[in-house]
């Protein structure tokens, strides 16, 4: 049996869209993409804020606790061991500084609380203290 039925060449293709219809579709898709982009940006900012809070609330506090413990141990050690401990304290101080920088870069609490001008002043002050530069 002939199951190979050929399609009729008289079938008409889907009707073509008018220029106005195509332009309207483009506008609709552009609007949809804009909404999606805004949602993605908001999600990204929420994630940055969450990471910054985690660094500050968890990692920062752990590092600070380590600094305090080391300071307490220092008095109990002989002089030659204190020098070794001082090296560890310097490494820990560097880690704390790095965490602070990352937190500021991810989500400045001052930026959210007091605005751009206050955050810029805070950043300048931080750079002045950390790098010994004078920023005016």
Specify the DSSP class assigned to residue 107: -
Candidate from 6-10, 17-21, 33-37, 78-82 with smallest mean pLDDT: 6-10
Q: How many CA atoms lie less than 13 Å away from 86 in the CB half-sphere?
A: 6
Give the distance, in angstroms, between the CA of residue 69 and the centroid of all CA atoms in the same chain.
31
* Interval 25-66: pLDDT, tens: 999 999 999 999 989 878 887 888 888 888 888 888 899 899
By C-alpha distance, which of 108, 113, 106 is closest to 51?
106
* Interval 94-132: pLDDT, tens: 998 888 888 877 876 667 677 778 878 877 887 778 778
Report how far residue 128's alpha carbon sits from residue 124's, in angstroms, rounded to the nearest whole number.
Answer: 6
Q: Are 91 and 100 in contact (CB under 8 A)?
A: no
For residue 38 the two structure tokens come to 């805004």
For residue 102 the two structure tokens come to 């990352």
What confidence tier does 11 reach under pLDDT thresholds 50, 70, 90?
low
Q: Are 85 and 73 in contact (CB under 8 A)?
A: yes
């Amino acid at each position: 049996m002939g199951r190979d039925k050929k399609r009729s060449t008289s079938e008409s293709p889907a009707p073509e869209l008018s220029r106005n219809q195509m332009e309207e579709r483009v506008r609709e898709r552009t609007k949809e993409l804009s909404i999606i982009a805004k949602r993605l940006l908001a999600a990204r900012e929420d994630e940055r804020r969450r990471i910054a809070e985690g660094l500050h609330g968890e990692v920062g506090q752990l590092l600070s606790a380590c600094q305090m413990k080391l300071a307490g141990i220092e008095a109990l050690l002989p002089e030659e061991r204190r020098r070794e401990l001082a090296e560890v304290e310097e490494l820990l101080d560097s880690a704390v500084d790095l965490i602070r920088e990352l937190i500021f870069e991810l989500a400045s609490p001052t930026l959210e609380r007091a605005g751009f001008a206050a955050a810029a002043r805070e950043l300048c002050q931080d750079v002045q203290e950390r790098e010994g530069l004078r920023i005016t």
